[in-house]
Amino acid sequence: MKLLFTKTFVRDYRKLPQDIQELTDKQLGLLLSNPKHRSLNMKKMKDPRDIWEARITMFYRFTFQVADDTYILRKVGTHDILRNP
In the chain the domains, ranked by start, together with CATH numbers, are 2-80 (3.30.2310.20)
Mean pLDDT of 7-30: 97
| Residue 82 DSSP code | G
| Beta-carbon-side half-sphere exposure of residue 1 (alpha carbons within 13 Å) | 17
pLDDT in tens, 28-45: 999 999 999 999 999 999
Residue 84 is predicted with a pLDDT of 75
Mean pLDDT of 21-27: 97
CA–CA distance from 16 to each of 38, 39, 44 (Å)? 23, 20, 24
